[in-house]
Amino acid sequence: MTIITALCESDKIWLGENTAVTVGDAILVDGTSKWSAFGDWYLGGAGDSVQIDILRLNSDDLSKPDMDARKIAQTIRDIFKEHDIAAKDEEDASARYGISCILAHKNGRVFDLDPSLAISPIPEGKLWASGSGRDYALGADAALQGLSLSAEERMNRATNAAIACDVNCPGEARVFLLGDERPGPSS
């Protein structure tokens, strides 16, 4: 799977990811970012690649100027319904879409989207993570509290902890400021 991380601090948003993917037990370094940019938003996706591919192919639907986090989550649900991507067990209250995401806006807001695409705002200063290495990244950041680390260093250490501890988070850590790089459909 993957690790994606985000941290908003002082109106700057740091984004992170691992640089490789697993296909079965094989590790591929293909340079594809787990982050996609559309309009004023970045979406980091962790899950099956088909969901991420479908979202990238439908990025025009997500790039409308009046989009907020709730509208984006609903648009993603609608896109997945059109492509018959959803699973719902009898005991589940809502469908699950095989993807978890971090959504970041250039205005300094970060949101978690869980596998049912429920939205949770992430407070400023809180490092957030998603993907199979999530617990390692969050645990590493919690262990580092009290140290005088920059936001970039927190991101690097948390992302690297997931890569070091989760065999499904291969590659190296890549951390960047939102806006410094614009990942696209093929980046």
Q: Extract the residue ranges of the chain whose pLDDT is less than 70.
A: 181-187
pLDDT for the residue 185: 41
Report DSSP letters for 22-86, one per residue. EETTEEE-----SEEEETTEEEEEEE-HHHHHHHHHTHHHH--TT--HHHHHHHHHHHHHHTT--
Q: pTM for the whole thing? A: 0.89
CATH numbers and ranges of domains, the chain:
3-177 (3.60.20.10)
pLDDT for the residue 182: 54
pLDDT for the residue 181: 64
